[in-house]
Amino acid sequence: MKPFTPDMNSLLPKLRNNCSWFFAVGITLLILGFLALSYQFLATVFSIYFIGTLLFIAGIVQALHSFKLKGVGQTALWAVMGVLYIIAGILSFTQPVAVSAAFTLIISFLLIVSGITQIINALHNRGFPKWGWWLFSGVITLILGFMIIMGWPTNSLWVLGMFVGIDLMFQGWAYIAVGLAIKSAKQ
């Protein structure tokens, strides 16, 4: 299967006409990222509420789905999963600090596993040009995971908000960079 590679010559005029949207989206994301970093606790709580809402809705849908499939097998398992999602969603609203602590712990474990995986992949692919960047990225990810675990559960009140803020700021800068590249691109 061939990867999708757009014809930039045909897309460039249309992109250039909509270039201001890239700047608008980028600036909006930068502002939201700055706010999230400035109010990390509120951003963390908002993230928990958002995830809780998604879990609650998913639980209702899964529970309803289980009743539609009576007699198909594993109906009870689907119903239990739906109820567990609903409970997790409700807990996100009634116990946001505890859920934040749980999510932060899970994220720290994911970062540690991701860091180890990146390091192993980098060491196995030393023939690649600039493979040291993969290694460096893996070491930083591993260190970040351990730093979060070492500060857990106290850091649970701000870690998720910080991640959201940093993500929004990087996305904002990326949109602005793409907008600048489109604006200055030659046809």
Q: How far separated are the first and last CA of the chain, in Å rounded?
A: 29
Alpha carbon distance 49, 43 (integer Å): 10
- The DSSP call for residue 128 is S
Contact status, residue 119 vs residue 139, Cβ threshold 8 Å? yes
Q: What pLDDT score does 32 carry?
A: 93
Tell me the C-alpha distance between 62 and 163, whole Å. 29
Task: Determine the pLDDT at residue 12.
Answer: 74
pLDDT value, residue 89? 93
pLDDT of amino acid 92: 92
Cis amide prior to 6 (ω within 30 degrees): no
What is the pLDDT at residue 14? 73
Query: Tokens 């960079």 appear where?
Result: 177
**Confidence (pLDDT) at 7:** 62
| Amino acid residing at 33 | G
Rounded to whole angstroms, the Cα distance separating 45 from 169 reads 19
Task: Specify the DSSP element, H or E, that contains 185.
Answer: none
138 vs 116: CA distance, rounded Å: 6
Which residues of the chain fall short of a pLDDT of 70? 1-10, 71-73, 186-187
Q: What are phi and psi of 73, to 5 degrees?
A: 110, 145
Q: For the whole model, what pTM was predicted? A: 0.68
